[in-house]
């Protein structure tokens, strides 16, 4: 297993008006966009308010706006928005908000048509431009508009066709899909005969506490090497889930789209009549297996926020990160019942419509604010750099380039290496990267899927039969897979292992100063 840090302070690319504003955007098929109520923002087609700059391409949910939760609680300011939107015949859906508890975890509002009688297209980008035009007309305040953003689609960073499961990888470099398909195998069943490392009992660890890595992904599936329990049960299992948090996340999922219904990665097939294994089924289980191999004494806290087509909604991610920050704050305040995480591993992201030179460090991004909040609490965030062979910043990984206090934990952006240590052809790269780790042709745990292929099941009933490798038959419980999705967990696991073996601070200490020293010592020990 290879990894290294770049040795340079991550920074965003220098301003360049000739930069390609369409690079690094996932090539999602139309049915995936429709499923998640999303559109691709194309610079040449984007409506612009007077004086607005041409945006970069991104993918966003067309009938949702991200808002500061304090704005959602302020009916007077919502009315101000409605008045500005009336010129387009649109409004903020108050009925959508009325049935929900407005809390610090809620960041999304629905945009709908108003009382107009003529047909119109609801589009969050057009709404944003309309509101910016209203500022110039004196009908809306700039401070209010600054608290609004698009809700982006967050795309998983595994080398798999989103929504397809076979064929060309998702969002490969332009013109390079076929090359990538030939040089990097997709998700492939394999068998493993090597024993996994021994896991020590918790009473044998420093501070009698395990380092905890939160994995916000597709959830977890049963596997004998990855015993699971609900964290409320207070059992010492390698993976824990949080059913109470999952219920809160599920309650805010859109009724119009796919839902997050619990912590389990449970819809293994796609929606076609062919019944193929869904593109991202097993993604979270595979990541947990990487951590199990490299940091057997750690605990993985699995939080499901991603669908089996590899898509996550920004709002659900913010809800999960907010819950982690709140628990860490209770622990830092002396609450001994709180069990905070030490590291957050994120294997997904998006490209932003705002060019960094025009909106420095995305000052109004709720995702950035939450990651900075976690860093300030001493929690390291490790994020995949993306698989688009692009230097365009991929967020949240590129938040590693933002300013950080010397006492805060880092955000670490991770690109992928081939097994021989060279940079993988598909990996994003740029000055905003912190590290590289093996991410191509990785072997890890995968959900047992005897029924992954109907043909396999029939052959089993009929007795022995010759056949080629069945790409949907994962009854071995292991798979080979590639992507920066799997390079990030390598760094997260190495950091967790170093917290136990190299840090001078006991794992049990939860005061702010000890937490900061522990993560900084572990990072230095692994070369960061």
Catalytic residue among 170, 302, 427, 485: 485
Other beta carbons within 10 angstroms of residue 259's beta carbon come to 13
Distance CA 414, CA 360 (A): 22
Q: In sequence order, which residues have a C-beta less than 8 Å from that of residue 138 and are 6 or more positions away?
A: none
Catalytic residue among 123, 164, 217, 309: 217
DSSP string, 214-271: EEEES-B---TTS-EEEGGG----SEEE-HHHHHHHHHTS-TTS----SSB----B-S
Two structure tokens written together for 286: 């595979």
- φ, ψ at 226 (rounded to 5°): -130, 70
- φ, ψ at 231 (rounded to 5°): -65, -20
* DSSP-derived pairing of the beta strands 3-5 and 343-346: unpaired
Nearest to 133 by CA among 69, 74, 86, 76: 86
DSSP string, 378-391: T-EEEEE--SSS--
Other beta carbons within 10 angstroms of residue 309's beta carbon come to 29
Q: Is 283 a catalytic residue?
A: yes
- Could you tell me where the DSSP H helices lie in 401-511? 454-462, 484-501
Catalytic residue among 283, 307, 313, 362: 283
Other beta carbons within 10 angstroms of residue 58's beta carbon come to 24
Other beta carbons within 10 angstroms of residue 456's beta carbon come to 18
Q: In sequence order, which residues have a C-beta less than 8 Å from that of residue 32 and are 6 or more positions away?
A: 38, 162, 163, 309, 311
| Beta bridge partners of residue 278, listed in sequence order | none
Nearest to 437 by CA among 398, 477, 483, 391: 483
**Residue 93 near residue 72, CB atoms below 8 Å:** no
Write the CA distances from 185 to 268, 289, 302, 336, 429, integer angstroms: 20, 19, 27, 47, 21
Distance CA 445, CA 491 (A): 18
Two structure tokens written together for 113: 């048509």
Cβ-based burial of 504 (10 A; exposed 0-12, middle 13-18, buried ≥19): exposed
Distance CA 288, CA 294 (A): 10
Two structure tokens written together for 400: 């590693």
Q: Is 470 a catalytic residue?
A: no
Q: Is 444 a catalytic residue?
A: no
The enclosing H or E element of 38 equals: strand 38-41
Q: Would you please indicate which residues are annotated as catalytic (active-site) residues? A: 217, 283, 485
């Amino acid at each position: 297993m290879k990894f290294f840090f770049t040795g340079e302070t991550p920074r965003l690319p220098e301003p360049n008006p000739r930069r390609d504003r369409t690079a690094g955007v996932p090539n999602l098929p139309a049915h995936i966009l429709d499923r998640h109520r999303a559109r691709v923002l194309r610079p040449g087609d984007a409506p612009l308010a007077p004086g607005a700059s041409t945006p970069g391409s991104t993918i966003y949910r067309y009938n949702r706006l991200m808002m500061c939760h304090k704005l959602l609680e302020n009916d007077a300011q919502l009315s101000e928005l409605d008045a500005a939107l009336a010129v387009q015949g649109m409004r903020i859906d108050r009925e959508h908000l009325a049935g929900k508890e407005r809390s610090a975890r809620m960041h999304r509002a629905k945009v709908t048509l108003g009382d107009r009688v003529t047909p119109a297209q609801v589009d969050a980008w057009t709404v944003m431009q309309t509101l910016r035009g209203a500022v110039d007309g004196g009908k809306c305040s700039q401070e209010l508009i600054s608290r609004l953003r698009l809700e982006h689609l967050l795309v998983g960073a595994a080398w798999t066709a989103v929504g397809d499961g076979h064929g060309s990888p998702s969002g490969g470099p332009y013109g390079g899909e076929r090359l990538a398909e030939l040089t990097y195998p997709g998700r492939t069943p394999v068998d493993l005969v090597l024993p996994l490392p021994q896991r020590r009992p918790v009473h044998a660890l420093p501070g009698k506490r395990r380092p905890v890595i939160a994995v916000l992904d597709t959830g977890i599936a049963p596997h004998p090497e990855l015993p699971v329990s609900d964290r409320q049960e207070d059992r010492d299992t390698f993976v824990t889930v949080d059913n109470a948090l999952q219920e809160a996340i599920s309650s805010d999922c859109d009724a119009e789209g796919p839902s997050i219904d619990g912590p389990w990665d449970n819809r293994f097939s796609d929606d076609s009549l062919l019944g193929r294994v869904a593109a991202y089924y097993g993604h979270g289980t595979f990541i947990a297996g990487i951590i199990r191999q490299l940091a057997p004494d750690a605990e993985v806290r699995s939080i499901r926020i991603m669908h089996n087509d590899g898509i996550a909604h920004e709002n659900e991610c913010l809800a999960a990160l907010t819950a982690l920050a709140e628990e860490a704050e209770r622990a830092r305040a002396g609450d001994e019942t709180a069990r905070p995480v030490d590291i957050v591993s994120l294997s997904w992201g998006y490209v932003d419509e705002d060019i960094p030179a025009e909106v420095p460090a995305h000052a109004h991004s709720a995702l950035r604010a939450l990651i900075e909040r976690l860093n300030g609490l001493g929690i390291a965030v490790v994020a995949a750099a993306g698989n688009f062979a692009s230097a365009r910043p991929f967020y949240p990984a590129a938040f590693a380039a933002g300013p950080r206090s010397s006492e805060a934990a880092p955000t670490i952006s991770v690109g992928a290496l081939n097994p021989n240590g060279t940079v993988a052809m598909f990996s994003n790269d740029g000055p905003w990267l912190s590290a590289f780790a093996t991410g191509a042709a990785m072997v890890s745990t995968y959900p047992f899927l005897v029924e992954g292929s109907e043909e396999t099941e029939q052959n089993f009933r009929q007795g022995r039969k010759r056949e080629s490798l069945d790409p949907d038959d994962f009854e071995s419980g292991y798979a080979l897979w590639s992507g920066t999705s799997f390079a990030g967990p390598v760094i997260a696991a190495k950091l967790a292992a170093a917290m136990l073996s190299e840090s001078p601070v006991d794992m049990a200490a939860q005061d702010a100063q000890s937490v900061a020293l522990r993560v900084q010592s572990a990072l230095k020990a692994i070369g960061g």
